[in-house]
Structure formats: C-alpha cells, structure tokens
Structure 1
Amino acid sequence: MIKEIDKLKAFEKFRKEAIDLLEESKIDKDKFLHKNLDYIRKLDLKPFSNIKNVEEAIYNYQYYNLLAKKSNAEAKNIVNNYKKRKLYARLINERENYYCLKDIATQRILELLDYKFVESYFIILNSKRLKGEIFEINIKSEEKLILHSKNKKILNELKDHGVFLDYSRPSLIDSYVNKSY
C-alpha cells in the first residue's frame, strides 16, 4: 500500500505536469479539470482534516476546488430544467460547501507560510458578476501555486498582513480564469 506522503509527492508531481500541459496549450481547461478529477479519484487520498503542512493544504485546496467546479458544471447542465430544480439546488449547495472547504485550505496555506512570499490582488475578469469579488493569491515561494478566493475573511487577513495590492490586474493564469466551462 502506498503511504500518504508518497501519494502527496505523486500528486504534486502530477499537479505541476498538468499545469505545464495547460500552459503549453496541449490540453484545454475542461480536459485539465477532467484529468485532475480522474487523478484524484485514482490516487485514493482523502482530504486532510488536520492540515499539518503546506503540501497537505495544497492537496485539500485542489481536491475541494475540483469538486466545486464539478458540481458547478453539473448544475449548469440542468439550470433550465424545471423538473430537476431540487437537484440543481443541491449541486449549488455542494459547490458552495466545497468552495468553503477550499478557503479553509487557503487560509491554512497562508498561516503555514506566515504570509511571507505572498502577493494578492483583485483580478480582471470577463464576468461582470464576479468583478471585484475574486482575488488572486500568488504564493511566490511555491512552484506554480496561484490560488483564488472571494472570501472576505481571507481578504481582510491579506490586507492586515500588508500583502494585498489595492488595485486590479490580469490574473497570472488569465486564459484559465477567464475561460468559462
């Protein structure tokens, strides 16, 4: 049986390779999300309830972010189906719960790093609904670690620690965040 630490190392290697494929336009956003979901299922590693290090927090962030995006995509497929309104409501609730759990992982990453080597700012989005809501957190001390949130508590903590820039700018992964599903 593969140990948790080995699974985390394998996940981190896979995460970076998948990001490279996306950056090189070898896969699109949908394929990226599907590859990640498939990998996490096969990895058979549950999220960590007591996050002890940055690697565990990154895993939880990715795990919950993927599940949130999956729930959101499923909800979008049935949004106009009156007969499935209860399922739609359940999927939206799941999405919000997963994003909340993702934000817990984000908060833990920031705490573990003591807000060092962090830069954050609102990102310029095509979505008018999300304008001024979503901010990016660039973790400069970790390779390819760019987080997103709209959690006000995290935003205030970033401001309190002096790592939030008070202006909007394009995301470091703009083509990813501005491509809808």
Structure 2
Amino acid sequence: MKQFKRESIFDRFFEHRDSLIIQYKNGDISKREFLEGNFDFVQKIRIKPFSKVDSFEKGIYNYQYYNVLAKYYNMLAADIKNDPNFVKQYKSCRYKANYNYNEKDKATLQLLRFLEFKNVEAYFIKVESTYLNNKLYEIVLMDYEYAIFHSKSKWLLRILREEGVFIERKRTSLIDGYINEKY
C-alpha cells in the first residue's frame, strides 16, 4: 500500500511560485497578473514571515512575502498617483510599499547570513529607468533555481561589499525582461 505524503506549505508555495514564473516567462500572464497572483496566494495561505530563518525555504518565503506586498502596494500607488481624490490612499500605499521593501531587505540579509554568503554574487544591473540606474542591484544565489533578488538598499549593498560578494561591474539582469517591464 502506498504511503501518501502530506504536501507541506513550502511545497505549495514553491509550486505556485514556479508556476507563475513559468507562465510569465511563456507570455501567458503579464507582470501585473504575476504580481496579483503572488499577492492573492500570500493572502490566501495566511502565513506570516518566519522570525527565525534556519532553512532556505523559510528565507525565500520571507523575501517573497515582503517583496509581493511591496510591489503590490507600489502598483496600487502608481494607479492612483495623479488622482486628487486619492491623496490619502496614495500616501498609505507608498508607506506600505516602502515598509515592505525595507522588510524584504532585512529578510534577504537573514537568508544570506544563513547561507553564510556562500555561492552568492551581486552586481548593479542595466535598467531602462533613469531613477533606478546605478541604484538597483541583483543578488543571485548560485545554488538555487529562481533565487534572484533585487534591492536598492544602501545598507545592504555595504554589507554585500564587506562580505566580498558584490562585483563592481554592471551586468544585464538574469530576468531583464521582467525588471524592465512596467506594471
């Protein structure tokens, strides 16, 4: 008789995440649909970030959780930016986006420390946005598929340089089409 293994939350999370990545790469969904799909999933599973990162899965979940919320609120803010009827909501969305971007950077550092900065490389990326030029950098976990993070945090950049994983050369992002697509 076969034993049935119960699917863990990480199995569900990674399956959903990988499915959305593949759909996006294949052109089946837009960047906006990708972001909304991630946001809806995080809201549906109702699991808050882990306070202790003692596995790759917990670290990537924390990063993804905060990244999803930050991008979602950033997208909402962009939708209402120029509407004078929504000034208060715009400010609220910008605050939530910035808060979650900062938490995402903290989550990134937790994961990098757990991995002891091994097989990690980071570098500035070429972007079409003049605002993000020489600010946005990519962090790649070489041992894991789809483990590509982005930040513009100055304090995290300083730590990456101190740890010797930051390459002082601008490169094309491994997910260039996604990075440079507006939502």
| Partner of residue 100, structure 1 | 102
Secondary structure of 1:126's counterpart equals: coil
Quote the offset at 1:103 in angstroms: 0.6
Q: How does 1:6-45 map to 2 (within 5 A)?
A: 6-45=8-47
What TM-score do you get using the length of structure 2 for normalisation? 0.91
| Partner of residue 125, structure 1 | 127
| Partner of residue 168, structure 1 | 170
| Partner of residue 78, structure 1 | 80
Percent identity over the alignment is 38
Q: How does 1:54-69 map to 2 (within 5 A)?
A: 54-69=56-71
Question: What CA distance in whole angstroms lies between the structure 1 residues aligned with 2:93 and 2:57?
Answer: 28
Secondary structure of 2:146's counterpart equals: coil
Partner amino acid, structure 1, of 2:175: I
Quote the offset at 1:105 in angstroms: 0.8
Quote the offset at 1:25 in angstroms: 2.0
Q: Tell me if the contact between 1:7 and 1:45 (Cα under 8 Å) persists in the aligned partners.
A: no
Q: Tell me if the contact between 2:49 and 2:61 (Cα under 8 Å) persists in the aligned partners.
A: yes
Quote the offset at 1:41 in angstroms: 2.0
Question: What CA distance in whole angstroms lies between the structure 2 residues aligned with 1:67 and 1:52?
Answer: 23
Aligned residues: 177
Q: Could you tell which deviates more after superposition, 93-102 or 21-30? A: 21-30
Quote the offset at 1:49 in angstroms: 2.5
Secondary structure of 1:131's counterpart equals: coil
What TM-score do you get using the length of structure 1 for normalisation? 0.92
Q: How does 1:144-159 map to 2 (within 5 A)?
A: 144-159=146-161
Task: Output one character per residue of 1:118-163: Cα deviation in whole Å (capped at 9) or x when no partner.
Answer: 1110011110011011100011111111000111121111111221
Question: What CA distance in whole angstroms lies between the structure 2 residues aligned with 1:50 and 1:140?
Answer: 23
Partner amino acid, structure 2, of 1:34: E
**1:49 lines up with 2:51 in the alignment:** yes
Task: Output one character per residue of 1:26-46: Cα deviation in whole Å (capped at 9) or x when no partner.
Answer: 222111112212222222222
Partner amino acid, structure 2, of 1:12: F
Partner amino acid, structure 1, of 2:148: I
Quote the offset at 1:24 in angstroms: 2.1
